[in-house]
Chain A
Amino acid sequence: MKNLRPILIVLIVLAFASSRAVAGAVKVIANPSVSVSAVSSGDLQSVFLLDSDSLGGSHVEPVLVKGGPTHEAFLKEYLGKNDSALQAFYRSLVFTGKASMPKFLDSDAAVVAYVAKTKGAIGYVSDEASTAGVKVLSIK
């Protein structure tokens, strides 16, 4: 049992490190027309849960990724929902007329390209993704 203790400690540290790595593995990006350079997690949640459509006076439109580790990390960190719950939430709004279904794109590159060309678009990509043509928002 004593021999196992250091291994258990290493495993616990690695598990913690990996969860932190996932949580910090997302960048929030926006079209340059969006006036803010920082956003609170509460405001980010309001935008992606369609409670609010503005940030700092700028109209914003959320864009999401279809699945994958970046998508899962963003949902867990900022929206507190899994993908099934988020899809059900959006559909409850769409099928009662309260909102349109947000855009879901296939990849980080597609999200960056869409956000770069669409006024007010706000999305998220992995830490490693190129962010040419968009601004990266810091989370305050």
Chain B
Amino acid sequence: MKRILSTICCGALAVLTFPTTVRAQEFKVFDRTVQIHGFASQGFVHTDDNNWLTMETSNIGSGQFTDFGANASTQITDSFRAGAQIYDRELGQLGRWHPELDWAYADYKFKPWLGVRGGKVKTVMGLYNDTQDLDFLHTFALLPQGVYSTDMRDSTLAHIGGDAYGTFALKKHLGKFSYTGYVGDQLQSIYGGYPYLLQIHGIYIDHTGGLTYGGDLRWKTPVKGLLGGVSYEGNHVRNTGQLNPSVALGGPDVMVPYWEQSRSQFTKQIYGEYTRGNLRIDAEYRRFWRDFTIFNGQFLALIGTHAWYPSAAYRVNKRFEFGGYYSHFDEYWIVTAPGQIEASCECDPSRHIYDKVVTARFDLNMHWYAKAEGHFMNGNAAGNLPMYPDGFYPQVNPNGLEPNTIGLVFKTGLNF
């Protein structure tokens, strides 16, 4: 922690005193310009009750909230480009400094209305799915967690496959449509929230992913600054690993092979954005449904979530921006495993998180920023025996969960 802070401080001092030293790098390869860009962020989280996002936040707080990435890309011809980005993070018990290839693909644009990409591609869904890790782009230290839960980001973040995309203008000044369609394998990280949650049931996932397909359609309307769109993703997920039956099933204390797979899984999202001058207003709704066979086909788990938020942000000047949002998340479930109780009403704290957030962002210069954010959460969506996480995990809350949580998040970061 001290080493990270001192590194950030030294880097920040360099940026402040020599603002031109930290910038994107360019060099030539076979007469083609290659650009190098990077970023890093460090956060600190404190909560009054309940440890949050797998961190020990309820005492002094936790600085296990770090990430960084770097990319290289080049325009090979007027129509053909290629690039790759690596990413690494620690979020409490998640990530744990296992670097990953964030994206790496080749992109060919035939026409403005038709391009193709192939490789590992960030999934376009809603306003921020493909940029949710890029903290420096956003007003908020944590995007609305109901829709963009940072611990569950792997479930929609990227796919290995191909995209077709394009933009076309509508006649009679009706605006523009942009579309993306994709198909591939959604190879997820085993260091994300869902594999971590399953450990309380004695399940240790070593592979998670499967077929994914979907699309996004967005309309830049004739009203200046108004954008709207819809996204859909379908999945056929199969997770494999090891199970200790003694933990959840009262069986022997041995490790046996484990699998679970979806019978039906989808995510639907609808969104809108309005920008006027220095004001930006966003709103999104996400519906998720998962029908899974679990414990090697013995039981069924049906889980559905609704999440939505409105947000607003206003840039006062080059250095200061403030904003806020209300995030609604509710989930319901029916699980046929022993000990599972069908979800109670949404009014129960175990079924929802309603989060009211205010944020201030300071841009010290083009490369360095800091954020201060308050979260006022009603509910913990932890379930009676959780099957789908949204921020509150029993492993770091062994004494149970309080119904409400106040959280403070401080974050700083660099990008070039």
B137 lies within 8 A of A97 (CB):
no
Within 8 A of A (CB), among B240-286: 275, 277-278, 280
Are A91 and B134 CB-contacts (below 8 A) given A53-B78, A82-B277? yes
User: Which residue from A52, A82, A84, A94 sits with its C-beta under 8 Å from B112?
Assistant: A52
Interface size class on chain A is 20 to 34
In angstroms, Cα B137 to Cα A41, docked, is: 27
Please judge, given known A-B contacts A95-B71, A101-B24, whether A42 and B169 are in contact too, CB under 8 Å: yes
Cβ of B279 to closest chain A Cβ, rounded Å: 10
A19 at the interface (CB under 8 A from B): no
Decide if A91 touches B363 in the complex (CB within 8 Å).
no
Interfacial residues of chain B within 55-108, with CB under 8 A of chain A in the complex: 69, 71, 73-75, 78, 81, 83-85, 103-105, 107
> Does the CB pair A95–B107 fall under 8 Å?
no
Contact B277 A97 (CB under 8 A): no
* Nearest-Cβ distance from residue B33 to partner chain A, whole angstroms: 7
Give the contacts of A40-77 with B (CB-CB under 8 A): 42, 46, 51-54, 59
> What's the least CB distance linking A100 to chain B, in Å?
5
Q: In the bound complex, do residue B134 and residue A92 qualify as a contact, i.e. CB atoms below 8 Å apart?
A: yes
Report whether B107 and A96 are in contact in the complex, using a CB–CB cutoff of 8 Å: no
B137 contacts A91, CB within 8 Å?
A: yes
Instruction: Decide yes or no whether A80 CB sits under 8 A from chain B.
Output: yes
- A87 proximal to B (CB < 8 A): yes
> Known contacts A87-B366, A91-B415, A97-B103: does B277 contact A51 (CB below 8 Å)?
no
In the complex, what residue of chain B is closest to A95 when comparing beta carbons?
B134
A53 to B415, CA, bound (A): 26
For A92, give its contact among B109, B131, B275 (CB under 8 Å).
B131
Contact A51 B37, CB 8 Å, known A95-B71, A96-B131, A100-B75: no
> Which A residue sits closest to B37, measured CB to CB?
A94
Once bound together, how far apart are the Cα atoms of A92 and B136, in whole Å?
Answer: 10
State in angstroms the CA–CA spacing of A124 and B402 once bound together: 58
Task: Contacts A51-B112, A84-B363, A101-B24 given; indicate if A96 touches B130 (C-beta within 8 A).
Answer: yes
Q: What are the residues of chain B within 8 A of A84 when measuring CB–CB?
A: 315, 318, 321, 363
- The verdict on A117 contacting chain B, using a C-beta distance below 8 Å, is no
* Per-position 1/0 for B117-145, Cβ under 8 A of A: 00001100000001100101100000000
- Which residues of chain A come closer than 8 Å to B378, judged between CB atoms? none
Q: Does A88 contact B (CB under 8 A)?
A: yes
CA distance A85 to B415 in the complex (A): 15
Residue of A whose beta carbon sits closest to that of B82: A97
Q: Does B404 contact A (CB under 8 A)?
A: no
**Which residues of A from 93 to 123 have beta carbons under 8 Å from B?**
94-101
Does residue A83 face the partner (Cβ distance < 8 Å to B)?
yes
CA distance A81 to B315 in the complex (A): 12
Known A-B contacts A80-B224, A91-B137; the reply to A100 vs B131 at CB < 8 A is no
**Nearest 5 interchain pairs by C-beta:** A97-B83, A59-B78, A52-B112, A96-B122, A92-B131
Interface residues of A (CB under 8 A from B): 42, 46, 51-54, 59, 80-85, 87-88, 91-92, 94-101
Complex A-B: 14 CB contacts under 8 Å = A42-B169, A51-B112, A52-B112, A80-B224, A80-B225, A82-B277, A84-B321, A85-B280, A91-B137, A91-B415, A94-B71, A96-B103, A96-B122, A99-B81
Q: Give the interface of B toward A (CB within 8 A).
A: 24, 33, 35, 37, 39, 69, 71, 73-75, 78, 81, 83-85, 103-105, 107, 109, 112, 121-122, 130-131, 134, 136-137, 167, 169, 176, 224-225, 275, 277-278, 280, 315, 318, 321, 363, 366, 415
